[in-house]
Amino acid sequence: MLLNLMMPEGDGFSVVEAMQTRPEWRSIPVVIVTVLDLSQADLDRLSGSIFKVLQKGSTASRTFWNSFVNACEVE
């Protein structure tokens, strides 16, 4: 699952916390995509619940998005 921490309604932290209350959702890998500079407290809050954090605009993020878009292209 790709999850942005900043959303119009609520926030990604709440989504992750809600997912952890459902046993059937706990094993879903979550990739956080954000423009935020996460503090250690933020990372601790997400600890154990996420697979990866990608900073929007970073080289790794652009490479990931390019691969994702290419994989999703339908001819």
**Nearest-5° angle of CA 34, CA 27, CA 20?**
70
pLDDT for 19-74, tens place per residue? 999 999 988 888 888 888 889 999 888 887 777 888 877 777 777 777 777 767 65
Residue type, 44: D
Task: Give the strand order in the sheet containing 52-55.
Answer: 2-4, 31-34, 52-55
Nearest-Å Rg of the Cα atoms of the chain is 13
pTM here is 0.69
Domain covering 2-72, topology: Rossmann fold (3.40.50)
> CA-to-CA distance for 43 and 45, rounded, in angstroms?
5
Domain range list for the chain: 2-72
> CA-to-CA distance for 68 and 58, rounded, in angstroms?
15
